[in-house]
Chains A and B, each alone.
Chain A
């Protein structure tokens, strides 16, 4: 029988981290296999129009495409272990540099969207679950479904058409040229840099540019949160311990809050964290819609140029980020739910 209190939290964390390693290896393998299996030659696909046959062959040699597949695979995995994610073909930049330059924009977009989704989605889901089949429940559920059913680029389109004008919000880019000029790129995250610089006009400008894209992306996730939280709330309110609490005379409000909401949110936290994957996918669609200079826009650019090196590098980083986040979420879950730790 485990001791009362924290249980074996450090051991759980260690186990979890160890479990991740085979998962990472599998993901790397899947990415490599899928992308390399394409017949045809990545190099010519990317650069065919720009270089002559000889130069293409040189390139192929330099990038190691003439080596046996296993060797290429090993190159790929070992360089990832050294945090080297390769170089783009079309503009010959290290992928890491692309991430560094554009990652900040994607980060501020996804974090802002996540916050909006949490703040709007979770309370609405709890309410809908608590007052099942009432008018608010119906409206909230409908809202949840619609916000997920409307693709981000459509929502972006509508916002640009009908909201941006009346509210005077910009629809393109993450800042005006003046702001970009004025703000020192210390962290490469524009919002943070603007805050650090203390320049009021710059901060306002950055925030104004952030509103529409973040709301668009946030709405996507919001719908999912609403549904998840609602279902969890419904099941929690039927739990035996809820009835037992009522049998002890605990007031309806307290039962809802202490036994209902709190317990309903625990499984939600795990799933909420897993939406990070969805956020990334959504970002890839939101950024081109608003000309947002993030990794998503860059990815689209490289895809249209058939730049295999860039696509492989960026996808690998995304996948690893998702796995990392899932480990963190599991650990947070263990912190909150004592049953997980034994």
Chain B
């Protein structure tokens, strides 16, 4: 147990200077939003589609004041509440999409790397094509498709994101599998008759799963941006179904002309901070796990003074 904890803390204890601070900052930022997401109903003063309270209607495009810390928007919603509820939407969608990515991408990559052959080649070709595709355009295509079918629900948007990011997971897992399966202990296992499934589960899975956390974190950062982008274009979740920062920014754009800054600034800042937090965590982890980039905390070398030379007959001929 202590070893697990020590392992988890390694990024903190072994890195020096900046990398450590970045990691800490990232974790803190992310934690704030996770708290928002988990405890939205208690943290947010109002609902995300609430237009009145205690019988008093909210103002339209009201300035920030003591009742509405971040003001209200043109649909009479409270901006502060929508920012908090937006955290829940964002994390829901992203976690769901990463979950699907891992559940589909990891086994696929394992199987493809392990078995090879024409199955592998076809899947690789398809994944490479999808990977080469501009990711945001791919997201547009998939959500265009999925919202036709499912409407703007959380699941539909998550699946769109999954489709966009699966190639990355697939690639990483496949590459790790390819190199891991050449290891001598795998050969030995096969020699004593282990089945394919057992080999994949016991030996390869552990190796392969190590690269997933960093990928997942950096992915999450990207996914939130993609989600916001889709929302901005009106392809994601509708305002009344849930709070989504990108969609709110779309409406805020028109407000900018009139000098109304609060409807856009706060959702935008929320996106920036959460994505930054996740990126810092991902990069910090990356620097820790990648030995060449790691800056270790070296203890300074202190040399005691030169001892009197214990030489006998030091002659120079």
Judge whether A303 and B235 touch: CB under 8 Å.
yes
Contacts of A245 in B (CB 8 A): none
Judge whether A39 and B149 touch: CB under 8 Å.
yes
Render A262-303 as a binary contact track against B, CB cut-off 8 A, 1 for contact. Answer: 000000000000000110111011001100000000011001
Contacts of A30 in B (CB 8 A): 126, 129-130, 133
Distance (Å) between the CB of B224 and the closest chain A CB?
A: 9
Judge whether B256 and A23 touch: CB under 8 Å.
no
Nearest 5 Cβ contacts at the A-B interface: A281-B136, A154-B268, A149-B275, A277-B134, A26-B129
Which chain A residues (155-189) contact chain B, with CB distance < 8 Å?
156-158, 160-161
Judge whether B17 and A133 touch: CB under 8 Å.
yes
Judge whether B276 and A145 touch: CB under 8 Å.
yes
Distance (Å) between the CB of A163 and the closest chain B CB?
A: 12
Contacts of B130 in A (CB 8 A): 30
Asked whether any CB of chain B lies closer than 8 Å to the CB of A326, the reply is: yes
Judge whether A231 and B221 touch: CB under 8 Å.
no
Asked whether any CB of chain A lies closer than 8 Å to the CB of B140, the reply is: yes
Judge whether A27 and B18 touch: CB under 8 Å.
no
Which one of A3-11, A193-201, A311-319 is at the B interface?
A: A311-319
Judge whether B140 and A284 touch: CB under 8 Å.
yes
Given A35-B141, A133-B17, A151-B246, A157:B148 Cβ within 8 A: no
B contacts with A: majority SS: helix
Contacts of A234 in B (CB 8 A): 292-293
Which residue numbers of B lie inside 8 Å of A, CB to CB?
A: 17-18, 22, 125-126, 128-130, 132-137, 140-142, 144-145, 148-149, 221, 225, 228-229, 232-235, 246, 249-250, 252-253, 256-257, 259, 261, 264-265, 268, 271-273, 275-276, 279-280, 283, 292-293, 295
Which residue numbers of A lie inside 8 Å of B, CB to CB?
A: 22-23, 26-27, 30-31, 34-35, 37-40, 45, 132-133, 137-138, 141, 145-146, 148-151, 153-154, 156-158, 160-161, 231, 234-235, 238, 277-278, 280-282, 284-285, 288-289, 299-300, 303-304, 306, 311, 315, 318-319, 322-323, 326
Contact partner of A27 among B132, B136, B232, CB < 8 A? B132
Distance (Å) between the CB of A158 and the closest chain B CB?
A: 7
